[in-house]
Amino acid sequence: MPLEVYPNTGGFGATVTGIGLAGALGADTVAAIRAAWLAHQVLVFPDQPMTLTDLERFTASIGPFGDDPYVAPVPGHPHVLEVRREPDERPVPFGSSWHSDWSFQATPPAATLLHAKIVPPTGGATLFADGYAAWDTLPRREQVCLARLTALHSARRPYSHEGYVAGGGTARSMKILPNEAAWQVQAHPLVRVHPETGRAALWINPVYTIGIQGMSDSAGRALVERLAAHATQERFVFRVEWSPDMLVLWDNRCVQHRATGGYDGHRRVMHRTTVAGDRPYGLHP
């Protein structure tokens, strides 16, 4: 059966069928998946039973593995993180605020893959926001000003020792690895040009973007909050309702995402990998 791609209305997000991801894929198939990924930013693959080795193999077909700090990997699988929440866990779900994965790195991931293993009977959806659309809908006059700004990113809020304690600490079932390196700051263009599509995306997020270079703390925070609210409006959001064995692949270079709750009393287990990216550049390199 050939690869079949069913885009959402407007083209942000698509469902892909007609393929099994557990085995080795041919170069033409991988190229078709990558083309659909670049076109639609978020791809949903229902009904994909996969072992951890299968997930690693498919990830490697998209690109080399990314660097995933601050969370202990699955034993024996150094590139796989288990996103787990137990029925009696009280802290908010991991990743429940809008973010682009590891945007505090010098070369953040190009892609994230998430594979559903245990899905609660209610709740637990993941939301994705379209950074292209967020940028395209800003007034031209504002675009001119924003295109020259540099945003400051840091892992301090969730992954410093203070952030770890504030976020639930040992009350989480996941093994978080806080570190003082989380206080480091990385500068990235506020408007990011996608290295493969050439399109511009609004590239800030309220978890890791801590300010704007050259602005006071208060002014920088205010701008980030305003732009983050703009970027995550409902009209830019694609909601994924999970089912067991579903795999979702998304583009961190133009998409941010967040987990939702609503499943207290139920276990939820997902496996996550990332694909290495490159150094972000803006409209005015």
The amino acid sitting at 20 is: G
Percent of the chain scoring above 90 in pLDDT: 96
pLDDT (tens digit, 9 = 90+) per residue, 129-176? 999 999 999 999 999 999 999 999 999 999 999 999 988 888 998 999
pLDDT (tens digit, 9 = 90+) per residue, 9-37? 999 999 999 999 999 999 999 999 999 99
pLDDT at 1: 54
- CA gap 191, 199 in Å, rounded: 10
User: Mean pLDDT in the chain?
Assistant: 97
Fold of 4-275: Double-stranded beta-helix (3.60.130)
Mean pLDDT of 38-51: 98
pLDDT at 169: 86
pLDDT (tens digit, 9 = 90+) per residue, 259-274? 999 999 999 999 999 9
